[in-house]
Chain A
Amino acid sequence: MAHFEKASSITEWLDQRLAITTVKKVMALEYWIPKNINFLWAMGMVLAFTFALLTISGIFLLMYYQPNVDTAFDSVNYTIMSEVGFGWLWRHIHGVAASVVFLVIYIHMFTGIYYGSYKKGREMIWLSGMLLFVVFSAEAFSGYMLPWGQMSYWAGMVITNLFEGFSPDIAGGIMNAPGLVEWIRGDYVPGQAFLSRFFMLHVLLLPLVIMGLIGLHFAALRIPHVNNQDGEEFDYQEAAKLYKEGKTKESKVIPFQPVFLSKDVFVLGVYLIFFFYLVFYHFNFAMDPVNFDPADGLKTPAHIYPEWYFLWSYEILRPFPKDPGLIAFGFAQVAFFLLPFLDKSDTVAPANRRGLFKYWFWIMIVDMIVLTVMGKLPPTGIWNHIGLVAAVVFIALFVALPWVTKNENRA
């Protein structure tokens, strides 16, 4: 056994057993962050904090929610909303956070794309980030099932039916031979089995996966370090040495704690003012009125549309015939994973300084906004055509990316 001296303080006692001083140094006091970054680099922390808010509010909702097709709707809309003290607060925090988290994810993602933070050693940051996006999407979808309202039921119906494309038994297990869709649902239609298993996914399995992925995402940042506003590569050891020698002005870095953290916390504070303004005064945008009708398997709502953050990919599904639509939709879900491999340029710099890529970036942003707007409009007439064009442009942008970026290397 290792030899332990008698400790003279709690810190020393912990230090002997857990090496907390070293941990603190590695994780915070000497975790170097470049100076040349802006508030967009605080979005990662904003996301981590929002995930914490989702977890805490979720735990309180979990105390009264009942995952049963007969009682789920009332347990949310009656018990939690009007009987449980401050139950409405947890629900509004949870609903608003689930929506806002996607806004911040999109900002965070496009910051990464704009500054080229997904390549030249940062591929694992990007890939783990995209995995987070996919699992967050699954988390949002499974959570949406739980109140068992009309939108829960019909979104569940439509989205699970997507998997029919992969299953030969198109008729939906009519001959007592369930296909993939029935397997996912555990029934011919979304029912008790479906609600219970999505409840399990939402409150246990997917949050566990998210926590693991956040760990991986943070670990992936450690070696390449975060990017900066100019994509500049510099010697971190040298910069850190300068800082430790007291030449903080000359050094290109600051330590995570306390210097960077104080800036992060400032941005977080501004965000939280906005966030709680929404929670208290504007929560309705996160609560679809159609979902205040209990689920009814014999009545489809007049329009079925997903929450705003899924509209762009939904619109890529919609204007095509069934199978091409599914392929396009599948492509849209994974396309951003390919970014580090489709971008053939060695330059890490803001998009605006990268020749053709500048246009690629801004067309992509506009296209995704157009897709989002079209996804909300009824699928008729002119809207259908605009949606189709926008969907084709989305796919074409990815196909064109290697050529768009190839020439940058020559300059």
Chain B
Amino acid sequence: MSNRRDFMGIALGGFTALAGGIPALYAMKRSWDPLPSVKAAGFTEVDLTTIPENELMTEKWRGKPIFILKKSADMPQDPRDVIAGGARYHVSIGLCTHLGCIPAYFPGEKKFKCACHGGEFDASGKNTFGPPPKPLVIPPFKVDGNKIVLGEAGPEYLEMQKSGIA
């Protein structure tokens, strides 16, 4: 008898868990997802003509800061550079790859320093010191004459992606 009851208990319990529990968990998970309107956040166009050399400009894209640094001739070139209108730029998401603070740029030392845990990056965004595990992330971009469009993957970006830089 008791075996039969155990079986009924397990069968009913199992059925409830499958039929009710799993869909409920799925619904809960989906409710925590970012909304479509959030995901569909648009593109940001940045005009590069007026940017001075070795001075950091910060744009905003999808709520995140974007670093744009026009390199002067004496700054080392790097495959990570974005070339637009004949000039070289460092373009990256301005969030430390450690835990996401915004590093500050020091034009004298030509370095980014993160105040949170002491991480440092060079002017090409490569991590040189401290806990950050990798260079600053390059956002999808498309060069359009003297402008770049953030959020759209142009050929230069795809090229970087292929070689593992972006």
Contact = CB atoms under 8 A, between A and B. Distances in A.
Contacts of B130: 379
Contacts of A174: 93, 137, 139-140
Given A158-B99, A188-B41, A297-B65, A183 B32 contact: yes
A396 interface: no
Of A173, A178, A189, which is in contact with the most chain B CB atoms at under 10 Å from its CB?
A189
A299 B140 contact: no
B63 interface: yes
A52 interface: no
Interface string A167-196: 000011111101000111111110101000
Contacts of B34: 173, 178, 182-183, 185-188, 193
A193 B38 CA distance: 9
Contacts of B22: none
Interface residue tally on B, bucketed by range? 20 to 34
A325 interface: yes
Contact of A197 (B32, B104, B132): B32
A303 B117 CA distance: 9
Contacts of B115: 300-304, 378
A346 interface: no
Nearest to B29: A183
Contacts of B118: 378-380, 384
A238 to B, nearest CB: 39
Interface string A100-112: 0000000000000
Contact of A178 (B33, B97, B102): B33
Contact of B137 (A171, A297, A299): A171
A162 interface: yes
Contacts of B60: 297-298
Given A188-B63, A189-B63, A300-B101, A379 B117 contact: yes
Nearest to A323: B133
Contacts of A298: 58, 60, 65, 102
Interface string A371-385: 000000011100010
A304 B118 CA distance: 11
Q: 4 closest pairs, A vs B, by CB?
A: A189-B63, A300-B102, A379-B118, A161-B100
Given A183-B33, A297-B64, A322-B98, 7 more contacts: A175-B140, A188-B34, A189-B62, A298-B58, A300-B102, A300-B104, A303-B115
Interface of B: 32-35, 38-39, 41, 58, 60, 62-65, 93, 95, 97-102, 104, 115-118, 130-133, 137, 139-140
23 contacts: A158-B100, A174-B137, A174-B139, A176-B39, A178-B39, A186-B38, A187-B38, A187-B63, A188-B41, A189-B64, A191-B63, A193-B38, A297-B60, A297-B64, A297-B65, A299-B102, A300-B102, A301-B115, A304-B116, A318-B117, A318-B131, A320-B131, A322-B131
